[in-house]
Amino acid sequence: MTTTLYQEWIHDWDKKLQQQGCHVLLLQDNFSAHSPPDDLTNIHVENFAPNLTSHVQPNDAGIIHCFKVHYHGKFISHAIDRYDNDVPPALIYDINQLEAMCLADVAWQSIDTTMIRNCW
């Protein structure tokens, strides 16, 4: 379904560009659903090589790294809390999706806006 949405979107954009007489080069990640149709006339699509995000978006690397550090810290604290509440050691790292999303939210809220500003 994602591929269909992507192809509909890029076809619509291609038609608008045809009407405007414009041609563009679209650089995109290599996500499998980003498969451009063969009949585009005004959009030339080039995919980045795998794992290239940190090279083409270096500012994101600092933000992503900071988020991961905060998330891992929250995750370990969660595991310690489970251990302290007599959860068997083999199960202290078990986490459901809602818990993971809540930890991600808390981790994101822990990131200072100054750090984000400094990455730009």
Q: Read off the pLDDT of residues 43-58 as tens digits, 9 standing for 90 and up.
A: 999 988 877 766 776 6
Question: Does residue 25 surpass a pLDDT of 90?
Answer: yes
Can you give the pLDDT at residue 53? 66
Average of per-residue pLDDT across 74-103: 96
Question: Does residue 84 surpass a pLDDT of 90?
Answer: yes
Tell me if residue 89 falls in helix, strand or coil. helix
How far apart, in whole angstroms, are the C-alpha atoms of residue 14 and residue 41?
Answer: 7
How far apart, in whole angstroms, are the C-alpha atoms of residue 119 and residue 67?
Answer: 13
Can you give the pLDDT at residue 30? 79
What region does 86 belong to: left with phi over 0, alpha with psi -120 to 50, or beta?
left
pTM of the predicted model over 0.75: no
Q: Two tokens at 93?
A: 């790292």
Average of per-residue pLDDT across 110-116: 86
DSSP-assigned letter for residue 111: S
Can you list the alpha helix ranges (DSSP code H) found in 1-120? 2-20, 53-56, 58-84, 97-110, 113-119
